[in-house]
Chains A and B, each alone.
Chain A
Amino acid sequence: MASFSVLLILVCISLLAPVIAPYNTYDTATFDIMDAETPPSWMAGGSEMFMLGTDIQGRDLLSTMIYGLRISLLIGVGAVFFQALVGIAVGLISGYLGGRLDSLLMRLADIQFSIPYLIVAIFASAIFKLAFGIGRYEDLAVVLLIIIIGLSQWPHYARTVRASVLGEKNKEYVEAARVIGISNRQIMLRHILPNTMTPVLVISTIQVANAIMSEAALSFLGLGMPITKPSLGSLIRAGFEYIFSGSWWITFFPGVLLVIVVLVILLLGDWLRDVLNPKLYKG
């Protein structure tokens, strides 16, 4: 439960970012490059204006981290919504209608499964970057990242939902619904879908953590959020070059925040899985 409260606090912080953050980091007038690379306030050379120091462009690190947290969470949850939408739709249709459509869709999912998701994500973002050009890519970065990360992971949802649907399809309430004459679509959406939600919920939390880590990895490689609208991954990338000159805080604090967020979501997912299905043993 501790993890749930930590997560709640983090989500609140990120939602209230414009109110809480000491500085608005998107407004270029509020920071000055002469402030760049100030150490945290408790070290020599630090100032009280910047609690955790500043990054390479003179932005206050604490504020940038809060905004970055917001973007990371937004992309993580958005990507999972997208994956879930596509995956559930495909799983429902494939499982309920069966036949050749089922084989085709599952073959597609298998093909995508045999390629590691990170490679799919990196390739998709590389292609988008080349196709859109760097300027337009940066403007649309959040949306594109949601689509990219969503596209790389939908087979997971599709397979899980399909397995559930195959189990539910032969039960009597489905047969009864068919006998009454309810249309296929109604049956899928209102009768079968609610009963497949349990596994979906369980994998969703872990997928959010995965999505946040994928986004951080993509940003770290330079294929994700640009430095003007940084997410935690981009901050780590920016700080990495300055580790050798001693400005360790630019990488350290965003890194710690990222690990805390992902850890908390993972623990929450574990707890959820135990609560929802005690028969499933922990692997």
Chain B
Amino acid sequence: MFAFIVRRIIQAIIVMLVIGLVGFVIQHQIGDPVRDLVGERVTPAERAVIRDRLGLNDPAYIQYFRFVKNACQGDLGFSFFYKKPALEVIVSKAPATIELVIVTAIILVVVSIPAGIYSAIYPKSWISRIIMAASTIGVAMPVFLTAIALIYFFGVELNWLPSYGRGETVSIWGWESGFFTLDGLTHLILPSISLSTIMLPLFIRLVRAEMMEVLETEYIKFAWAKGLHRRRVWYLHAFKNTLLPVITVFGVQVGILFAFTILTETVFQWQGMGFMFLEAVERSDTSLLVAYLVLVGVIFVVVNTIVDIVYGLVNPMVRIAGAK
């Protein structure tokens, strides 16, 4: 067991180092750190001095070590557009994205589990067929299209919900939260619905498939034979065993959700990390790019590793298979 955890952690560290290498190569080749620091209006002679002082004339591997050391201490470079350290910029934008992801996750759980269970228990009913058809179309429809459609119907035509921005936010110990104002909450609705449509089809189908498989097992048949009340059979006995694969898939998909926030935030002008990343691309602000890559890489790797370890704890087959 312990060996399994250690192996996963080592793999995580290797992935982080690779991501760090990619980030370093980007910053080294494409960015211009001198310009990042002092802007355009500096003479070449002064630039040469600054380059020397910053250690930019050292060999590549020394610079790489310095990069990794700085990254571990939290110094990810300086954004020339915001005139602030890159990490500070990202941390100030992170609450927006994190709140969006939280609300989306809640929507996913609240909608997909009942829908999946229902369509597993009554697969032939017309509601189930509608759910499955909608989920197939949902897979085909890209998230930005759903977002635009939602904006058009609820924002432009009906004018019920606001279509861009975050609304009023309340600052709680530096965390700009939209949860505590009605305005902020209404602004949260459309983006999180759009973001959830990416994952809803997958989760509904997953819950449905798992539930249908569990309902065929011997011990469920025994429960029916014992004469237990049907709700007890469904919710207490069957459902608990569908949870495990769902949780592990959910853990992985959280990372993908973060990736798709880039698309959603663009449509809704949501001032989060994804939108910041796109602006950094347009402005060639490489420090922010690299900082985003490193931060998002850390999040994925940590989430994946935790999910793998939890799965290994619960499912012994995984540990044995990996030990060969």
Contacts and interface: CB of A to CB of B under 8 A. Distances in A.
Interface stretch (A55-63, A85-93, A120-128, A189-197): A120-128
Given A240-B148, A243-B152, A217 B142 contact: yes
Interface stretch (A18-26, A37-45, A161-169, A256-264): A256-264
A223 B281 contact: yes
Contacts of B145: 236, 255, 258-259
Contacts of A115: 15, 19, 297, 300
Nearest to A119: B259
Interface residues of B, number: 47
Nearest to A122: B262
A275 B216 CA distance: 24
A126 B289 contact: yes
In this complex, the member of B15, B260, B296 whose beta carbon has the largest number of chain A beta carbons within 10 angstroms is B15
B152 A123 contact: no
B213 to A, nearest CB: 8
Interface in B7-66: 11, 14-15, 18-19, 22, 26, 29-30
B30 A127 contact: yes
B262 to A, nearest CB: 7
Interface in A196-223: 209, 213, 216-217, 220-223
Contact of B281 (A129, A217, A246, A248): A129
Contacts of B156: 243-244, 246
B178 to A, nearest CB: 22
A131 interface: yes
Given A114-B304, A118-B256, A123-B293, A222 B15 contact: no
B263 A110 contact: no
Interface string B80-103: 000000000000000000000000
Contacts of A209: 140
B195 to A, nearest CB: 13
Given A127-B26, A223-B281, A251 B300 contact: no
Given A119-B296, A130-B30, A283-B206, A236 B144 contact: yes
A127 B28 CA distance: 12
Contacts of B144: 217, 220, 236, 240
A259 B139 contact: no
A111 interface: yes
A33 B202 CA distance: 43
B185 interface: no
Contact of A110 (B11, B136, B152, B256): B11
Given A116-B255, A258-B145, A263 B152 contact: no
A15 interface: no
Given A118-B260, A221-B278, A283-B205, A243 B137 contact: no
Given A114-B15, A116-B259, A236 B148 contact: yes
A266 interface: yes
A266 B136 contact: yes
Interface in B203-244: 205-206, 209
Interface string A235-259: 0100010011010100100010011
Contact of A131 (B30, B260, B289, B301): B30
Contacts of B14: 107, 111
Interface in B94-149: 136-137, 139-145, 148-149
B263 A126 contact: no
B323 to A, nearest CB: 15
A247 B142 CA distance: 21
Contacts of A282: 209
B301 A114 contact: yes
A258 B282 CA distance: 26
B236 to A, nearest CB: 25
Nearest to B11: A110
B30 A263 contact: no
Interface of B: 11, 14-15, 18-19, 22, 26, 29-30, 136-137, 139-145, 148-149, 151-152, 156, 205-206, 209, 255-256, 258-260, 262-263, 266-267, 278, 281-282, 284, 286, 289, 293, 296-297, 300-301, 304
28 contacts: A114-B304, A116-B256, A116-B259, A118-B256, A118-B262, A122-B259, A122-B262, A126-B281, A126-B289, A127-B26, A130-B284, A217-B144, A220-B142, A221-B262, A222-B282, A223-B281, A246-B156, A255-B145, A255-B148, A259-B137, A259-B145, A263-B136, A263-B140, A266-B139, A266-B140, A267-B136, A281-B209, A282-B209
Q: Which 9 A-B pairs have the closest CB atoms?
A: A263-B140, A262-B140, A116-B259, A126-B281, A116-B256, A118-B259, A119-B259, A255-B145, A283-B209
Interface of A: 107, 110-111, 114-116, 118-119, 122-123, 126-127, 129-131, 209, 213, 216-217, 220-223, 236, 240, 243-244, 246, 248, 251, 255, 258-259, 262-263, 266-267, 281-283
